[in-house]
A and B are shown apart, each in its own frame.
Chain A
């Protein structure tokens, strides 16, 4: 199997979907009409409501909808094999995801740019409107935790990555200040700042290697906890600062980087045409996989969320975008087209993950327990060959090593070393901790590393085998990328490795794998951080809206106390989930939350089509995807609680996390159940009503809205 042929096939299906299916939706189902005034014209205020060129708005919408979801989901779902992910992305995006975005964008555009929660309140009543708003709030918090976890996984213990991504914050701040304070927001200022920003980002990438090899590196090798707290601080500050200062310039920089990189990756796959090494279908389709424990059905459909269908997009399609649509027919390119582009991003990420050997994919994405001392019970696999070897290595251990291994402070000072080592013998440690040991410690235990080098990047196949990790090309990848890439869960690292492999296979690029790897990490982190600051801000607005019900002063957009309090609550929410969870627990919850929001959007879309489309049968374009997505997601929700979260409550250490995860997932399932039941009741009423009356009612309602807006 060669990647380029699959990529060409995917491009053909996406083109056909856009040319024919979206044309059918636009002409027959939604009856787009440029004569109908859009809210950008009706409420034009030069700030939120502003008619915008179709292609500029396409860029904005694409940047807003494409976070890390289409990149990470397909990488994680690659454990089921290449075919399931490929087929779900391709047909999911054409028949469900793009349809949802398109229908909600048109619906919001025809309702004065109203949000999904407001449309739900209008269509389903105030109670279900409130339920929708609550579920959206939870979904935003969980989504941010899912995305933040990827950044933490990709940047932990990586000085180069932390430096490059950290440098992007002052660069974005400088860009914002230059554009608005020096150049007064002119387009010339934007162009100049863009050129400078891109140049500085690349400079940071190049300098990062020097920093990682310098004594400063020790200060930038941050643990997961420190990184999570640093990201929480960033999210808090970015959500409070004015949008023009940090959020907009970062968003802008990221958009350029994302479109360019994806284009480069697609071109790279077509030119290099690497073989797909992941089997079409793996034995893990029945469950028990190394990353996701659940079976293919229903877990592939919630793991790959954003690339195929994503409820989060409905928030954007009923948020900023409808307020800027110039003509109604532009919605086809923006709503349907941008989602197809996101599907292409998902396919590209899947291909990048599948071109690496399965052994390496598993070694990167799992963090198995390694015995401290090898024994017959562990089949001779372990960090140290014997307790004696471990005792002899004690003097080479740094304080950090001792913390990681739990070595007593007295060890290495003579008496009792062997007893201490023997005491450690039954213990097992995660592979990530073992690989984070200093090179001095690993060298003294007989591993093939340079004791003076800062990172253990020269471990060979035999070394990994000693630890019980089975690898193929991973030692070469680690050495050439200059990073320890094994046991780096979260999906971010394996995607970066896959991308770097494709890029470095281009003519003349093989000496630059390390740079491509860190470029890919920067690319992922920039986007995720953009989603985090934007998402935290959206969550803050929602939370402030709720607080406004308690005290109207806190709900006012000018209230500093309200802004700080609501931001703190949102940041604390997603930080809690990252600190207490892992990719195996957070990502399914993120997928379920996201797909449940998609169910809400599709249910509302079906109601609207039943009422407004020329023929009732056209409501099937959203009803059929709704039936499929709600079946898979509700099943996944129940299974996640029963198989994943509830068993956590039986262990003391994870009891609280298990209870919280079960509670939140259960609450979301109940919310969506209520929304679906309310929608079904409405559909029955609409189907029973005479057709002419509903269409006349819809047209009258629309006219009333337009005249009220005018």
Chain B
């Protein structure tokens, strides 16, 4: 069980990082490019600006994987 949760956590983290990088690259490729760099330092701004740019799928993935990761870590900590 612990191993399975740990694998879910790892996969969530990897997908989360991929979604975050993808949002940053998209923001860097659009006007007001500085948002891409700012979102690198302040991660929550990536989904905020991503949503405003219409990158909804990536924002969903970002939020879901972050939730899964946090929940998984909490679960393991209490196990």
Residues of A within 8 A of B (CB): 53, 55, 202, 206, 256, 259-260, 263-264, 267, 506-509, 511-512, 515-516
Report the minimum CB–CB distance from B56 to chain A (whole Å).
16
Query: Please, which residue of chain A has its CB at the minimum distance from the CB of B75?
Result: A508
User: Which residues 4-47 of B have a CB within 8 angstroms of A?
Assistant: 6-7, 9-11, 13-14, 17-18, 20-21, 25, 28-29
Is the beta-carbon distance between A202 and B21 smaller than 8 angstroms?
A: no
Is the beta-carbon distance between A263 and B17 smaller than 8 angstroms?
A: yes
Is the beta-carbon distance between A260 and B73 smaller than 8 angstroms?
A: no
Query: Closest 3 interchain pairs by CB?
Result: A508-B73, A511-B6, A508-B9
Residues of B within 8 A of A (CB): 2-3, 6-7, 9-11, 13-14, 17-18, 20-21, 25, 28-29, 69, 72-73, 76-77
CA distance A53 to B13 in the complex (A): 29
Query: Please, which residue of chain B has its CB at the minimum distance from the CB of A511?
Result: B6
SS class of chain A's interface: helix, strand, loop or mixed? helix
Cβ of B76: which chain A residues have Cβ within 8 Å of it? 508, 511
Total A-B residue contacts, Cβ distance less than 8 Å: 44
Cβ of A267: which chain B residues have Cβ within 8 Å of it? 17
Cβ of A256: which chain B residues have Cβ within 8 Å of it? 18
Query: Please, which residue of chain A has its CB at the minimum distance from the CB of B12?
Result: A508
Partner of B18, one of A53, A55, A260, A512: A260
Given contacts A206-B7, A260-B18, A508-B76, 8 further A-B contacts (CB under 8 A): A259-B21, A263-B17, A264-B13, A264-B17, A267-B17, A506-B13, A507-B73, A508-B69
Query: Please, which residue of chain B has its CB at the minimum distance from the CB of A54?
Result: B29
Is the beta-carbon distance between A260 and B14 smaller than 8 angstroms?
A: yes
Partner of A55, one of B6, B10, B11, B28: B28
Cβ of B10: which chain A residues have Cβ within 8 Å of it? 509, 512, 515-516
CA distance A516 to B77 in the complex (A): 20
Report the minimum CB–CB distance from A345 to chain B (whole Å).
15
Is the beta-carbon distance between B14 and A264 smaller than 8 angstroms?
A: yes
> Looking at B10, B14, B21, which has the most chain A CB atoms within 10 Å of its CB?
B10
Cβ of A512: which chain B residues have Cβ within 8 Å of it? 6-7, 9-10
Cβ of A259: which chain B residues have Cβ within 8 Å of it? 21
Could you pull out 16 A-B pairs where Cβ atoms are within 8 angstroms?
Answer: A53-B29, A55-B25, A202-B11, A202-B14, A206-B7, A260-B14, A260-B17, A260-B18, A263-B21, A264-B17, A508-B6, A509-B13, A511-B2, A511-B6, A512-B10, A516-B10
Cβ of A507: which chain B residues have Cβ within 8 Å of it? 73
Report the minimum CB–CB distance from B66 to chain A (whole Å).
12
CA distance A264 to B73 in the complex (A): 17
Cβ of A53: which chain B residues have Cβ within 8 Å of it? 29
Query: Please, which residue of chain A has its CB at the minimum distance from the CB of B17?
Result: A264
Cβ of A506: which chain B residues have Cβ within 8 Å of it? 13
Report the minimum CB–CB distance from A518 to chain B (whole Å).
12
CA distance A508 to B13 in the complex (A): 10
Report the minimum CB–CB distance from B13 to chain A (whole Å).
7
Is the beta-carbon distance between B7 and A260 smaller than 8 angstroms?
A: no
CA distance A263 to B17 in the complex (A): 8
CA distance A206 to B6 in the complex (A): 12
Report the minimum CB–CB distance from B35 to chain A (whole Å).
15
Report the minimum CB–CB distance from B11 to chain A (whole Å).
7
Cβ of B25: which chain A residues have Cβ within 8 Å of it? 55
Query: Please, which residue of chain A has its CB at the minimum distance from the CB of B10?
Result: A512
Is the beta-carbon distance between A508 and B72 smaller than 8 angstroms?
A: yes
Report the minimum CB–CB distance from B68 to chain A (whole Å).
11
CA distance A250 to B9 in the complex (A): 27
Query: Please, which residue of chain A has its CB at the minimum distance from the CB of B73?
Result: A508
Cβ of B7: which chain A residues have Cβ within 8 Å of it? 206, 512, 515
CA distance A508 to B3 in the complex (A): 11
CA distance A663 to B6 in the complex (A): 53
Cβ of B9: which chain A residues have Cβ within 8 Å of it? 508-509, 512
CA distance A437 to B75 in the complex (A): 41
Report the minimum CB–CB distance from A5 to chain B (whole Å).
16
Cβ of B14: which chain A residues have Cβ within 8 Å of it? 202, 260, 264
CA distance A516 to B7 in the complex (A): 10
Report the minimum CB–CB distance from B46 to chain A (whole Å).
12
Query: Please, which residue of chain A has its CB at the minimum distance from the CB of B20?
Result: A263
Query: Please, which residue of chain B has its CB at the minimum distance from the CB of A515?
Result: B10
CA distance A707 to B13 in the complex (A): 53
Partner of A509, one of B6, B28, B29: B6
Cβ of B28: which chain A residues have Cβ within 8 Å of it? 55
Cβ of A508: which chain B residues have Cβ within 8 Å of it? 6, 9, 69, 72-73, 76-77
Report the minimum CB–CB distance from A257 to chain B (whole Å).
10
Cβ of A263: which chain B residues have Cβ within 8 Å of it? 17, 20-21
Report the minimum CB–CB distance from A681 to chain B (whole Å).
45
CA distance A161 to B7 in the complex (A): 18
Report the minimum CB–CB distance from A13 to chain B (whole Å).
16
CA distance A206 to B11 in the complex (A): 11
Cβ of B13: which chain A residues have Cβ within 8 Å of it? 264, 506, 509
CA distance A53 to B26 in the complex (A): 13
Cβ of A264: which chain B residues have Cβ within 8 Å of it? 13-14, 17
CA distance A511 to B75 in the complex (A): 14
CA distance A512 to B6 in the complex (A): 7
Query: Please, which residue of chain A has its CB at the minimum distance from the CB of B40?
Result: A263
Query: Please, which residue of chain A has its CB at the minimum distance from the CB of B74?
Result: A508
CA distance A506 to B76 in the complex (A): 13
CA distance A506 to B14 in the complex (A): 12
Cβ of B18: which chain A residues have Cβ within 8 Å of it? 256, 260
CA distance A416 to B17 in the complex (A): 63
Cβ of B3: which chain A residues have Cβ within 8 Å of it? 511
